């Protein structure tokens, strides 16, 4: 073993990472490894799972600055693992699910997305999909039946047209509008104020109708869609995030109670995880009780 290898192994030990995980070579990699080790503990996964997933996560997240990745991971771990009640049916969330949660953070920047091409020449609306935009179309056919369809069409910006050399999505939109009178069309776009991509489905009335069926919103002809603050959904971190993203006027007393409730949940969840690790280590008798993940992320032991 040469001096460089010895130095790297010592660096891993200094960051409390087992030396067999030699693929971890920078602080972003350390943050991702610790995040995955917490998921592995929660979902009973082995070290081989961590190794295989680390490569996927690192490829997707290595552009995120250390400070923000640290905060995003800590937020996800301390907010009931970032999972609202009933989501994912109890299964381990994928990197796509976690990235979706990260993108909903107010500090997220689309510049951190992992893209292979030089996207600087694409416009803000289509750079996420490298020249394409999502189109959601909902229409009533000649028999009166409601139909829906998702498409991905080429943007109208110059670089998208030069790159893909095909008709822009506006041709498809015009075709549907010409065929059907009652047509609802939504197109993805970048919202500079929120610093995130607004999906086509997110803008559709079908999305709100789904939320009405779930009880999150109500509807009447005079006021349109309105939030039902009594629903349990609004008491979750996701409900609080949606209220902010949708610029909903959440009552201040409710917001304060939710924030206190979430803070208590974070403390209870952290203590429960630490107790679980200590009990597991005590059964072995040979394993030192490790510091908690909350300690790694600056929340104390």
Across 235-254, average pLDDT: 78
pTM over 0.75: no
Q: What is the pLDDT of residue 287?
A: 47
Name the pLDDT band for 88 (thresholds 50, 70, 90): very low
Residue 42 C-beta-side C-alpha neighbours within 13 Å: 22
**C-alpha to C-alpha distance for 291 and 21, rounded to whole angstroms:** 19
Q: What is the pLDDT of residue 272?
A: 63
Q: Identify the pLDDT of residue 144.
A: 81
Higher pLDDT, 5 or 275: 5
Contact yes or no for 30/15 (Cβ under 8 A): yes
pLDDT in tens, 271-281: 666 566 556 55
Return the H-helix or E-strand segment holding 154: strand 146-154
Query: Residues 33-81: pLDDT tens digits?
Result: 888 888 888 778 888 888 888 888 888 888 888 888 888 888 887 765 4
Q: What percent of the chain has pLDDT over 70?
A: 77
- Reported as a pLDDT band with limits 50, 70 and 90, residue 266 is low
pLDDT at residue 91 greater than cutoff 70: no
Spatial separation of the C-alpha atoms in residues 138 and 184, rounded to whole Å: 5
| Domain ranges across the chain | 3-109+253-296, 110-194
Q: What is the pLDDT of residue 219?
A: 82
**Is the per-residue pLDDT at 204 higher than 70?**
yes
């Amino acid at each position: 073993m040469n001096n460089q290898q010895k130095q790297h192994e010592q660096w891993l030990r200094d960051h409390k990472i087992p030396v067999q995980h030699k693929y971890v070579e920078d602080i972003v990699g350390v943050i991702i490894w610790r995040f995955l080790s917490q998921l592995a503990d929660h979902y009973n996964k082995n070290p081989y799972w961590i190794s295989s997933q680390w490569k996927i996560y690192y490829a997707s997240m290595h552009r995120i600055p250390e400070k923000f990745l640290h905060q995003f991971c800590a937020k996800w771990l301390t907010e009931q693992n970032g999972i609202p009640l009933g989501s994912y049916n109890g299964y381990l969330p994928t990197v796509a699910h976690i990235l979706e949660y990260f993108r909903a953070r107010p500090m997220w920047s689309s510049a951190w997305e992992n893209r292979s091409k030089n996207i600087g020449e694409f416009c803000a609306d289509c750079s996420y999909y490298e020249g394409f935009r999502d189109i959601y179309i909902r229409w009533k056919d000649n028999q009166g039946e409601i139909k829906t369809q998702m498409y991905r069409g080429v943007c109208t910006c110059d670089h998208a047209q030069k790159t893909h050399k095909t008709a822009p999505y506006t041709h498809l939109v015009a075709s549907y509008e010409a065929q059907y009178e009652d047509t609802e069309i939504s197109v993805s776009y970048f919202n500079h104020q929120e610093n995130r991509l607004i999906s086509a489905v997110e803008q559709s009335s079908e999305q709100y109708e789904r939320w009405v069926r779930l009880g999150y919103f109500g509807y009447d002809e005079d006021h349109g869609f309105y939030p039902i603050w009594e629903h349990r959904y609004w008491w979750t971190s996701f409900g609080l995030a949606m209220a902010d993203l949708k610029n909903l006027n959440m009552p201040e007393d409710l917001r304060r109670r939710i924030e206190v409730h979430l803070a208590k949940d974070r403390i209870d969840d952290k203590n429960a995880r630490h107790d679980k690790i200590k009990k597991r280590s005590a059964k072995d008798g040979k394993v030192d009780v490790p510091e908690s993940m909350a300690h790694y992320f600056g929340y104390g032991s």
